[in-house]
C-alpha cells in the first residue's frame, strides 16, 4: 500500500487558466509527485486509507511554486553608483562609454573566484526561495570568454545542488561584444559558435541559449548564425528582443521555435503575427522598464487579443533590474503594463514554466506534475500582486517535502 501525503488548505489556486480558487483545497502527493487535487470533500475514498500524514493549513492559500523564467542572478559587482548618476541625468550610453554598464559587470565577474561568485549569488537565490520561487532560469553572459561563462554556469549548477530549486541554465552567448573584439565581430561569433558553445556542451552546462538582438548588441543575422549552431545541439532558444527598438528579432525567434522572446516593448505588428502562430512565450520584464525610466510599454492588449502567452520575470541583474522579488514584478506587471492579476499569476506559474520548456513537470497543480507548491498567508492569489514589499510566504514544498517553514525558520541551504 502506498503512503500518501495529504496537504489541506483554506484555498487552492492551481495555476490553470479560467479556474478560480478551490475552497477547502486538498493535494495528495506520492513522494515527489502530485496524484490528486481538488476540494477535500471530493477526495476519493480509496485514497483515504493510504494517507500517511496530513498537513493542514487551515487559514492559508496554496499555489504552485513560483517560476522566475528570466534572471541574471549570477554576477559580481554593484552598479548602484550608475543608477545614482542616471538620476542626475547621465545617460546609459555615456555611462557605458566610461567603462560602466554591462562591461563593468563583465570585469567584476571575470575577476571574481568561483567560490566568491557562488556566495554572492547564493544570497540572492536565498531571497528568491524565501518568497516562493521553486524554479528559475539563470543566464550566463557576463563572462564573454570561455573561462568566465563556464564559471557562471558552474555556479548556477552548484546553486541547484545547494538549494531546493530547479535551475535552467542558459548560455547567453551574444550579450555584448567583448572590448578585445571591438573591431572583429566575425571573430567573436566564430569563437562563440565554434569553441565556447561546444566546450560548454561537453561540460553539460547548457540547457538553452539566449542572445541580445539590438542595434547596440547583435544583429538579426548574427543571432541567426548562433541559433543555427544551437540547433545542432538540439538546444532551445530564448531571445532578448525588441527592448530598445524593432530589430525583427521576434520573427526570427518564432521561426526557430524559440521558448520565449523577452522584453518586446518595441514589437511590431508582424512580430505579433509571428508570435501568434508560434508556441513562443512573451516574457515581460516590468522592473527593467521601471528602473530604466523606459517610455515604451509592451502592447499587452494586442498580445492578449492574439492569445499570446505572457510570462512575468524579475530580470534580476545589477544594471537595469536589481531585484530578487518576483512579487514586486507581479505588482508592476499590473500597475505599469495593465495585466490583470490573474494573467500575472499565470505569468509566474503556468506560462513561466512554458517559457522554460518545463510545462509538463511544473507550473500548475495537477496530477503527475512535480509536487512543488507554496503556502501563503493569503486567501486569494490576487493578493500576491496587490501588495508591495510584503512577503506572505509561509512555507515552501519542493518535490513533496517541506524545505522551508517560516514558523520554524528552517533555512533553505543544505
| Interface with Zn ion: number of residues (CB under 5 A) | 1
* SS3 track for 38-63: EEHHHCCHHHHCCEEEEEEEEEEEEE
Name the residue with the smallest CB distance to Zn ion.
Answer: 315
Q: Which is nearer to Zn ion, 11 or 168 (CB)?
A: 168
Minimum CB distance to Zn ion, residue 176 (Å): 12
Burial 319-354 (b: 16+ CB within 10 A, else e): bbbbbbbbbbbbbbbbebbebebbbbbbbbbbbbbb
Q: Which is nearer to Zn ion, 120 or 313 (CB)?
A: 313
Q: Which is nearer to Zn ion, 222 or 315 (CB)?
A: 315
Q: Which is nearer to Zn ion, 64 or 100 (CB)?
A: 100
Minimum CB distance to Zn ion, residue 138 (Å): 11
Measure the CA–CA gap between 61 and 9, rounded to whole angstroms: 6
Of 120-128, 270-278, 307-315, 355-363: span binding Zn ion (CB under 5 A): 307-315
For residue 210, give the nearest of 247, 260, 272, 263 by alpha carbon. Answer: 260
Minimum CB distance to Zn ion, residue 316 (Å): 9
Q: How far apart are the first and last CA of the chain?
A: 31
Minimum CB distance to Zn ion, residue 351 (Å): 17
Q: Which is nearer to Zn ion, 60 or 109 (CB)?
A: 109
Of 188-196, 289-297, 313-321, 352-360: span binding Zn ion (CB under 5 A): 313-321
Minimum CB distance to Zn ion, residue 74 (Å): 12
Cα dihedral 360, 252, 169, 197 in deg (nearest 10): 130
Measure the CA–CA gap between 337 and 332, rounded to whole angstroms: 7
Taking the CA atoms of 20, 287, 309 and 75 in sequence, report the sign of the dihedral they define.
negative
Q: Which is nearer to Zn ion, 315 or 372 (CB)?
A: 315
Minimum CB distance to Zn ion, residue 37 (Å): 33
Enumerate binding residues for Zn ion (CB under 5 A): 315
Amino acid at each position: 500500500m502506498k503512503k500518501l501525503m495529504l496537504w489541506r488548505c483554506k484555498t487552492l489556486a492551481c495555476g490553470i487558466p479560467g479556474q478560480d480558487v478551490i475552497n477547502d483545497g486538498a493535494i495528495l502527493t506520492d513522494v515527489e509527485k502530485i496524484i490528486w487535487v481538488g476540494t477535500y470533500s471530493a477526495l476519493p475514498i480509496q485514497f483515504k486509507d493510504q494517507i500517511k500524514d496530513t498537513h493542514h493549513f487551515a487559514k492559508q492559500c496554496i499555489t504552485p511554486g513560483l517560476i522566475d523564467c528570466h534572471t541574471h542572478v549570477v554576477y559580481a559587482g554593484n552598479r548602484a553608483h550608475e543608477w545614482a548618476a542616471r538620476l542626475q541625468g547621465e545617460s546609459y550610453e555615456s555611462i557605458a562609454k566610461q567603462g560602466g554598464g554591462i562591461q563593468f559587470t563583465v570585469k567584476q565577474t571575470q575577476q571574481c573566484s568561483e567560490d566568491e561568485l557562488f556566495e554572492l549569488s547564493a544570497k540572492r537565490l536565498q531571497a528568491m526561495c524565501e518568497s516562493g520561487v521553486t524554479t528559475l532560469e539563470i543566464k550566463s553572459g557576463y563572462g564573454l570568454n570561455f573561462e568566465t561563462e563556464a564559471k557562471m554556469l558552474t555556479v548556477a549548477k552548484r546553486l541547484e545542488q545547494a538549494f531546493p530549486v530547479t535551475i535552467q541554465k542558459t548560455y547567453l552567448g551574444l550579450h555584448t561584444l567583448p572590448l578585445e573584439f571591438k573591431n572583429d565581430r566575425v571573430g567573436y561569433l566564430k569563437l562563440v559558435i565554434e569553441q565556447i558553445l561546444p566546450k560548454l556542451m561537453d561540460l553539460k552546462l547548457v540547457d538553452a541559449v539566449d542572445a541580445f538582438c539590438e542595434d547596440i548588441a547583435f544583429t538579426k543575422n548574427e543571432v541567426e548564425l548562433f541559433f543555427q549552431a544551437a540547433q545542432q545541439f538540439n538546444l532551445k532558444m530564448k531571445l532578448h528582443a525588441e527592448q530598445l527598438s524593432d530589430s525583427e528579432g521576434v520573427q526570427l525567434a518564432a521561426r526557430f521555435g524559440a521558448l520565449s522572446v523577452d522584453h518586446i516593448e518595441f514589437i511590431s505588428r508582424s512580430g505579433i503575427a509571428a508570435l501568434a502562430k508560434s508556441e513562443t512565450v512573451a516574457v515581460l520584464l516590468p522592473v527593467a522598464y521601471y528602473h530604466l525610466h523606459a517610455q515604451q510599454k509592451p502592447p499587452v492588449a494586442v498580445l492578449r487579443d492574439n492569445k499570446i502567452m505572457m510570462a512575468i520575470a524579475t530580470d534580476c541583474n545589477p544594471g537595469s533590474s536589481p531585484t530578487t522579488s518576483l512579487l514586486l514584478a507581479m505588482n508592476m506587471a499590473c500597475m505599469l503594463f495593465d495585466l490583470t492579476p490573474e494573467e500575472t499569476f499565470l505569468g509566474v506559474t503556468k506560462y513561466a514554466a512554458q517559457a522554460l520548456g518545463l510545462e509538463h513537470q511544473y507550473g500548475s497543480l495537477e496530477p503527475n506534475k512535480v509536487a512543488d507548491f507554496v503556502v501563503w498567508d493569503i486567501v486569494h492569489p490576487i493578493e500576491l500582486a496587490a501588495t508591495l514589499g510584503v512577503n506572505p510566504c509561509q512555507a515552501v514544498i519542493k518535490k513533496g517535502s517541506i524545505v522551508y517553514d517560516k514558523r520554524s525558520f528552517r533555512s533553505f541551504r543544505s
